[in-house]
Amino acid sequence: MALIVEDNTGRPDADSYLEVAAAAARLVALGFAAFPALATADAAKAEAFLRRSTIRVDEVVNAYPRGVPLNVDQALALPRSGLFIQGRLADGDVVPRLALDLCAIGAEVEALGLATASTPGTDSNIKRIRRASGAEVEFFAGAKLSEAQREASDTWSRMAVELRFDAPGGLPI
């Protein structure tokens, strides 16, 4: 099944925020290698990893839904109008760069074998905590991680927290 990428119109059939090539290129620019190597070796698996990563990005976005989707029947959580990110009004007709980067990093996490199913508590090495701000953060506990695995998982966690949506005026939700 071909990957259908959100094109900033609120597509009803989109299943990813990024194409495989775009995700691989961004990850190379960020210094990651597992997903870019997989994208070359097995495109179908790379597409599946992007689909799963997109689901996880949508979970982050939908934890505190703000703004209004562009279309009533759009498949993904973004783009949205009236959305504040880190205290600033985001351009409502595009998927924010931070969400695109988080999607790419999520695919890297998948390629490194660190991702879990969307359902909380499905992996004994994954712990979730809710911070005082209300943001839910995942971290890997009890697992011996390689440097690449640690870097990818730490980057995912940090970016997921950064992708918090603020109320108008920059007040944290």
pLDDT at 165: 53
pLDDT (tens digit, 9 = 90+) per residue, 64-83? 777 888 889 999 999 988 87
Kindly tell me if the per-residue pLDDT of 38 is higher than 80: yes
pLDDT at 47: 96
Report whether 85 contacts 98 (CB < 8 A): yes
Fill in the DSSP letter of residue 55.
H
Q: What share of the chain is helix, strand, coil (3-state, %, to 5)?
A: 40, 15, 45
pLDDT (tens digit, 9 = 90+) per residue, 104-156? 998 998 888 865 433 343 444 555 555 555 555 555 454 566 778 778 877 87
pLDDT at 117: 36
Q: Regarding beta strands 80-81 and 68-69, do their DSSP bridges make them parallel or antiparallel, or are they unpaired? A: antiparallel
Which residues on neighbouring strands pair with residue 89, listed in sequence order? 84
Kindly tell me if the per-residue pLDDT of 19 is higher than 80: yes
pLDDT at 67: 80
